[in-house]
């Protein structure tokens, strides 16, 4: 087995223009954090207790069992090692790699819902148990018939004032809860979203704390039907489940009552906003923006390293085969996603800081930031997960045939991460939520109101510049202005389209539906403007080391220019950009790719994913791809014996029969 680094990768690293550690530090927030991250990762990756056979060689049941064992062990070790709450994600991502785990919903949604939706008395009652994993919960909202339309949920929680209980029921097949992670086999509690009924009146979906399995033998409690929904596209390591209730009674105190309340006599106390009950989803959407940047960074790391190791064809007759990354078409596949990974990494950080500031404000009773937070997180969640999806698949195809093997790590990454476009709010639906906010803001600006936050730019309509002027299409100010103009124009045009549909006689819902393609386009343009502007603003950080600001600027330019060329019609349509500008942009892309080429490996190294987290034979840090491909294939269960038992069962008689008939 080769212990040395592949010479091509070695040369790539020697020739880069900067020290990747400096970018790593920038991406993670300083050298101290990077040090902590590396310590925790190496602790997890070198722990023999976490070792197991490759998941790709396992059935769904084995994957679930392996991951359950591993995650429970992780919880115990996190406690023993006294890892700070803020640092746990480093340890966790080294333990689970790119796989979801059966406790993900407990940590990612059940606990956050208790923090965000429970009253102080309820926190006193349940938080200690939940934080210490004495109970395990999930977030049971989606039903077989409704995921998107929460107001259409069918599960009922009917208040009975005589006993001061809620009666939980699943009235139809379509009301079965369907999909919640960790529900199938693991959880004994859930936060249940159900329609609240008091004295025959419906009050809409509310969260309830419901025990579903016995704490003694883990059997479903009386009236509860629960199980696993079966194999999925990915997510083999998680028991996504179904759940139904037949007249299950829970105490009044089990409705989460930080905002809405039901008094013992059945009096309903309204929350400051009904949408506060959706708070956990907003938090997870913000997390998905962070995650999308990381996922894309992983895919691009694998494909870029492999593209430097892989040699193919003759560029010049008689010359050695070039590294495939030297083909400009290969660079055009990968570098825009390399740039996008950086763009979304930084967007994720901004999104989280907006989330933290706004949610602090909201928890103190000031809900004014809620609409902006919802609109921003919905749009960025949708944009980032869509780009990550397309990027992961592009990276897989850029690895040729070997990309299709599970050895590349890319099919599993894709299968586990692609539902980010569906869960926590289906992407089109999320873009339409953002569009709703944009329309409202735009109309407010027409009434003369001053807008703030991410929509402030809608107040001032930018004029289309006079023809004949020249622009420097590499100037980040020029690029941001172009994205801003496009977003403002598309918001304006969607609003005009809506108004025209209304004037043509449609009612508001039909007009909205008729204009929805334009509305999504406007929300997309708004979100893309936010990403480009955020990237450019981060580069103005005066503490940024000059040796890395050049290369980061190139990435930012590439990200903006690539989006501009891909959507050139939007920029050209009203004459804001000219054909000359777009032609110039295309030429700059080629020049930028040539400049980025020597730094490509250093730029992916800077993401700092250890091999144990990447889990890819093609993306190995040492580039020793071929020997490990062979070793990996040899470990496949079909290779345990030279002659498989199916030969004796099927192939042998078949061949013998055919030979006998000759
Ligand atoms: C050891 C260390 C560990 C570290 C751990 C880290 C681990 C992390 C792991 C995380 C794992 C998570 C995995 C995720 C798994 C998936 C979970 C799920 O899918 S769960 C299931 C996820 N399911 C989904 O996401 C369902 C998606 N569906 C929905 O969210 C809603 O049905 C809807 C938004 C589409 C419509 O709602 P509807 O009630 O019909 O509302 P209308 O349209 O009529 O609009 C009325 C007004 O409300 C406004 N508004 C709306 N929402 C919000 C909000 N959130 N806020 C504020 N406002 C909001 C709206 O703007 C409008 O305002 P205006 O114009 O009137 O002023
Ligand atoms: C891996 C995975 C894990 C999940 N985990 C959980 C969990 O832990 N807990 C939980 O409660 N749920 C969970 N879910 C469910 C998930 O949240 C829903 O699937 C998601 O919210 C989408 O809803 P839906 O399935 O009803 O899609 P649908 O709404 O049926 O979407 C189908 C199509 O209809 C379109 N559409 C729907 N409404 C509109 C509209 N108003 N305007 C325009 N187009 C529309 C959509 O764009 C989409 O193209 C999970 C799902 C997956 C895949």
Contact present, 462 and 481 (Cβ < 8 Å) = yes
Residues 452 and 433 in one domain: yes
The whole-angstrom separation of Cα 492 and Cα 598 is 43
- pLDDT band, very low/low/confident/very high, at 2 (cuts 50, 70, 90): very low
The whole-angstrom separation of Cα 580 and Cα 274 is 51
Nearest to 323 by CA among 310, 333, 305: 310
From 271, 291, 325, the end of a domain falls on 271
The whole-angstrom separation of Cα 108 and Cα 316 is 53
For residue 593, pLDDT beyond 60: yes
- What pLDDT score was predicted for residue 466? 62
Number of domains in the chain: 2
Determine the average pLDDT of the residues in 240-252: 98
The protein residue whose alpha carbon is closest to atom 12 in ligand 2 is 142
Residues 122 and 265 in one domain: yes
Q: What is the DSSP letter of 220?
A: B
Q: Which ligand 2 atom is at minimum distance from the Cα of 183?
A: 8
The whole-angstrom separation of Cα 82 and Cα 74 is 12
- What pLDDT score was predicted for residue 363? 86
Determine the average pLDDT of the residues in 360-366: 91
Task: Give a yes or no: residue 77 inside a domain.
Answer: no
Query: Where residue 539 sits, what CATH number does that domain have?
Result: 1.20.140.10
Task: Give a yes or no: residue 468 inside a domain.
Answer: yes
User: Distance between the two ends of the chain, CA-based, in angstroms?
Assistant: 47
For residue 460, pLDDT beyond 80: no
Residues 424 and 563 in one domain: yes
Task: Give a yes or no: residue 639 inside a domain.
Answer: no
Task: Give a yes or no: residue 88 inside a domain.
Answer: no
Cα distances (angstroms) measured from residue 453 to each of 77, 253, 368, 490, 595:
42, 38, 12, 18, 35
559: Cα within 13 Å, side-chain hemisphere: 29
Which of 108, 141, 148 maximizes ligand 2 atoms within 8 Å of its Cβ, making it the mutation to test the pocket? 148
Q: Which amino acids bring their CB within 6 angstroms of ligand 1?
A: 78, 88-89, 92, 104, 107-108, 139, 141-142, 147-151, 181, 275, 278, 281-282, 284, 287, 370-371, 374, 423-425, 429, 433, 436-437, 440
221: domain range? 107-271
240 ligand 2 Cβ < 6 A: yes
pLDDT over 70 percentage in the chain: 98
Residues 560 and 598 in one domain: yes
Residues 519 and 601 in one domain: yes
- What pLDDT score was predicted for residue 3? 66
Compute, in angstroms, the gap from residue 61 CA to the centroid of ligand 2.
25
pLDDT over 90 percentage in the chain: 96
Which ipTM value was assigned to this complex? Answer: 0.96
The H-assigned helical ranges of 46-87 are 60-80
Q: What is the DSSP letter of 466?
A: P
Query: CB within 8 A of 330, min separation 6: which ones?
Result: 307, 324, 398
Task: Give a yes or no: residue 432 inside a domain.
Answer: yes
Residues 284 and 143 in one domain: no
Compute, in angstroms, the gap from residue 119 CA to the centroid of ligand 1.
21
For residue 1, pLDDT beyond 50: no
Task: Give a yes or no: residue 74 inside a domain.
Answer: no
Contact present, 599 and 17 (Cβ < 8 Å) = yes
Contact present, 50 and 70 (Cβ < 8 Å) = yes
Residues 129 and 173 in one domain: yes
Residues 433 and 471 in one domain: yes
For residue 576, pLDDT beyond 70: yes
What pTM was computed for the model?
0.97
Lookup: tokens for 78: 């996190």
Determine the average pLDDT of the residues in 83-89: 95
Residues 149 and 261 in one domain: yes
Q: Which residues are annotated as a binding site for FAD?
A: 142, 181
From 239, 271, 303, the end of a domain falls on 271
The protein residue whose alpha carbon is closest to atom 7 in ligand 1 is 108
From 271, 295, 330, the end of a domain falls on 271
Determine the average pLDDT of the residues in 479-496: 96
Q: Following DSSP, what letter does each residue of 372-392 receive, concatenated? A: HHHHHHHHHHHHHHHHHHHHH
- pLDDT band, very low/low/confident/very high, at 547 (cuts 50, 70, 90): confident
The whole-angstrom separation of Cα 392 and Cα 334 is 10
The whole-angstrom separation of Cα 428 and Cα 379 is 9
Determine the average pLDDT of the residues in 229-234: 97
Determine the average pLDDT of the residues in 270-289: 94
Nearest to 194 by CA among 212, 168, 220: 168
Q: Which ligand 2 atom is at minimum distance from the Cα of 177?
A: 11
Task: Give a yes or no: residue 443 inside a domain.
Answer: yes
Active-site residue 424, yes or no?
yes
Determine the average pLDDT of the residues in 197-210: 97
| Helices 328-363 and 579-596, axial angle in degrees (round to 10) | 100
Residues 446 and 545 in one domain: yes
For residue 621, pLDDT beyond 60: yes
Catalytic residue (one of 12, 143, 165, 424): 424
Lookup: tokens for 377: 């997180």
Compute, in angstroms, the gap from residue 420 CA to the centroid of ligand 2.
10
Residues 264 and 376 in one domain: no
The protein residue whose alpha carbon is closest to atom 18 in ligand 1 is 424
Residues 530 and 385 in one domain: yes
Q: What is the DSSP letter of 475?
A: -
Over the chain, what is the mean pLDDT?
A: 96
For residue 32, pLDDT beyond 80: yes
Query: Where residue 214 sits, what CATH number does that domain have?
Result: 2.40.110.10
Lookup: tokens for 44: 């997890």
**Count H helices, E strands: the chain?**
25, 11
pLDDT tens digit sequence for 295-352: 999 999 999 999 999 999 999 999 999 999 999 999 999 999 999 999 999 999 999 9
Task: Give a yes or no: residue 62 inside a domain.
Answer: no
For residue 516, pLDDT beyond 60: yes
Contact present, 391 and 341 (Cβ < 8 Å) = yes
């Amino acid at each position: 087995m080769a212990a040395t680094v592949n010479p091509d990768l070695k040369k790539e690293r020697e020739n880069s223009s900067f020290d990747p550690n400096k970018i790593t530090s920038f991406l993670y927030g300083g050298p101290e954090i990077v040090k902590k991250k590396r310590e925790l990762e190496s602790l997890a990756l070198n722990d023999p207790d976490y070792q197991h056979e490759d998941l790709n060689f396992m059935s769904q049941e084995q994957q679930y069992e392996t991951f359950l064992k591993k995650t429970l062990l992780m919880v115990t070790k996190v406690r023993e090692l006294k890892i700070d709450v803020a640092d746990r994600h480093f340890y966790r991502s080294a333990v689970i790699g790119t796989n979801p785990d059966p406790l993900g919903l407990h940590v990612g949604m059940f606990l956050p819902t208790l923090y965000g939706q429970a009253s102080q008395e309820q926190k006193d009652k349940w938080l200690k148990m939940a934080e210490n994993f004495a109970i395990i919960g999930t977030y049971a909202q989606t039903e077989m018939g409704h995921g998107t339309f929460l107001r259409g949920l069918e599960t009922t929680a009917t208040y009975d004032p005589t006993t001061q209980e809620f009666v939980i029921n699943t009235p139809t097949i379509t009301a079965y809860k369907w999909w919640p992670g960790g529900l199938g086999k693991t959880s004994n509690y859930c936060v249940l979203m159900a329609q609240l009924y008091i004295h025959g009146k419906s009050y809409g979906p509310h969260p309830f704390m419901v025990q579903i399995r016995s704490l003694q033998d883990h059997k479903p409690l009386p009236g509860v039907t629960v199980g696993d929904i079966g194999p999925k596209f990915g997510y083999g390591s998680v028991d996504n489940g179904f759940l139904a209730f037949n007249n299950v009674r829970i105490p009044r105190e089990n409705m989460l009552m930080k905002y809405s309340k039901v008094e013992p006599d059945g009096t309903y106390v309204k929350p400051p906003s009904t949408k506060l009950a959706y708070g956990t989803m907003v938090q997870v959407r913000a997390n998905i923006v962070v995650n999308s940047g990381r996922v894309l960074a992983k895919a691009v790391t694998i494909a870029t390293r492999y593209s430097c190791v892989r040699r193919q064809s003759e560029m010049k007759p008689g010359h050695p085969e070039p590294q495939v990354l030297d083909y400009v078409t290969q660079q055009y596949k990968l570098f825009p996603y390399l740039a996008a990974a950086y763009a979304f990494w930084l967007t994720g950080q901004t999104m989280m800081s907006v989330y933290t500031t706004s949610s602090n404000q909201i928890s103190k009773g000031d809900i004014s930031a809620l609409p902006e937070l919802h609109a921003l997180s919905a749009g960025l969640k949708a944009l980032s997960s869509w780009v990550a999806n397309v990027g992961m698949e592009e990276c897989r195809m850029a690895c040729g045939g070997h990309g299709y093997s599970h050895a590349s790590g890319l099919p599993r990454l894709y299968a586990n991460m692609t539902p980010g476009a569906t869960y926590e709010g289906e992407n089109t639906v999320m873009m339409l939520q953002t569009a709703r906010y944009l329309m409202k803001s735009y109309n407010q600006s027409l009434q003369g109101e001053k807008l703030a936050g991410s929509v402030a730019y809608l107040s001032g309509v930018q004029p289309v510049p006079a023809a004949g002027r020249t622009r420097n299409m590499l100037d980040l100010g020029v690029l941001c202005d172009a994205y801003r103009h496009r977003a403002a124009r598309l918001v304006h045009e969607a609003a005009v389209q809506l108004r025209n549909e209304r004037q043509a006689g449609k009612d508001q819902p039909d007009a909205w539906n008729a204009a929805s393609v334009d509305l999504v386009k406007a929300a997309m343009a708004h979100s893309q403007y936010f990403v480009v502007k955020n990237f450019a603003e981060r580069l103005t950080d005066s503490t940024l080391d000059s040796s890395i600001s050049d290369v980061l600027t190139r990435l930012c330019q590439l990200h903006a220019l690539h989006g501009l060329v891909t959507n050139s019609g939007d920029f050209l349509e009203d004459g804001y950009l000219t054909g000359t500008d777009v032609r110039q942009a295309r030429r700059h892309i080629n020049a930028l790719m040539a400049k980025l080429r020597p730094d490509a490996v250093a730029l992916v190294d800077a993401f700092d994913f250890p091999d144990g987290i990447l889990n890819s034979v093609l993306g190995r840090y040492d580039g020793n791809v071929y020997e490990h491909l062979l070793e990996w294939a040899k470990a496949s269960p079909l290779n345990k014996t030279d002659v498989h038992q199916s030969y004796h069962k099927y192939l042998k008689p078949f061949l013998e029969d055919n030979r006998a008939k000759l």
